[in-house]
Structure 1
């Protein structure tokens, strides 16, 4: 119920006492964000005061029916939720109306628990009814000036406030990102400790299984839990090539909420080789687009596939895909490429397409 907020000059009234102050607090109209982000909040014996560089608002404690605290989670900060009454006369403020019956104060820099304890005490004491506070003449003049502030001056102030809000939002986003990166590093250390203990206590657990366990964290977007040194030849688990569709799924799964579109991935892929990146875009003969390591040796790869087919006497694309861990469509492309180079020959029957060593 953000429409219960009223303009104020931020000064204490006669008979009013300051209780506590906290920085980095944002105002939400119910669950919806407002433009009033990361300001300072003050609790007095009569009001809640909030201000930043461009605005100062107040909420009288007499309009608060009750308060509850919502603890922080992975995706949100701790919040103080105040349920408000609609019985009092509305005063001039930043919001003309609201569809919610509560206003939320989001504590981005901590301090919610202490503020919640103190406001519970003030709501129980009801000092505003025992000793009513009287606004000073300075406040009355400021209220009058703000309520009549229109025209070019009002537009300039609004634009300046929007710039401040954007700056605070960007700063908060980078702060959240830094916190997430720190938590990711902790999770990496935990994963390494768990993997080492598992391998020490269970001799039947192979190093490949340990590497696979660490790779699960990589698929969740954890920064570098698998290194080339620790994983060896299994560092590139798709044999140096991956279709764009597989890459798209893995990237978005790692990003979580900040997803990319297929067009974003394709536009990035076409510039990789120009930027001398270790991965490049390759279009297979079937038209399928894929990522491929720039140091990928095509001749060596075809010889290895030919050796696999010779060892098994014959092989289908499905079998090759399961054997070396690549998509079936890529395995089919590899077998056809080996056939084109005279290394393999095919048998296309009702049982499907199979490839055999070329003995001629």
Structure 2
């Protein structure tokens, strides 16, 4: 919904989902994403439903608007616990509302008039909202979603007990207890890996990833050549695409850059603070892939996702410095005035009269190349001046500028 709301629809009657700072779904414990459908239409019966606000109460203002029984152009995210629908405004602000799978009573596809014709609709019988209809653009996507729904409902992951519900545990864990313990340790290891990724050797990781990048480029070229001759995919091509998706090689698979941009923002923005608002894009790429472990991204996919962050107004953006160095920066602290204040504070903290690129690199723990670019930036603004000698290149605050 990209215009001012003049009515309310089934989307407004779902429960509002909590979001991360980047606009992603705040998942529940042990909740995993199963399927993502980029465009879908949500329909309900002709009888008006009750709209809900962010506090899960009746939205009186919307209930006075006319009722429309369908909501087009939604993105659907199917998880083990919920079906989440996403709506995006013209200002790129997202709102998510969900239907919990505990509310599902029955699931089936809608039969069409013809004998062999398949209607791209999925019917959900729910306890609270009655019958809901999901309309897809193609029958193939509908069938894929129906299959995923059947697996999710049969496994009933939202009812899986956690370790907190187990009162006693033997010294040697077996059966379900052992599986839950292993799963919890795996999640803790992934969280620890994401936390320690910024402490690793990015250059070493990039060197080790060169062989994998070459494989990615080879398979991408193969799939693109096949796509030029025919849009249809044979069985072998589908298997190849599946392998690439499992390994995280998504360059030839038309990835959802918007979703990936929000995941990247959630990962890197807490580290782009007022004290360290800039990182080179190469370092972020290595650290992000290190945190993803086996689900690696190709450089093209990562660059495309990073460049989406500014248009989505996520608070970070890609910038190319005059030397050609590409960085990822926190927009809140990217102005030269803030950089000038940080450099001045650095002088006072360490009782220095001037700074070199090595000084800034050592105290701020950034690369010497990035440190030099930061110093040149304040020099171009006129707030700092340089003193170039045979010994070194030093930068001083411009006292005439400050006066």
Task: Please give the TM-score of this superposition, normalised by the length of structure 1.
Answer: 0.38
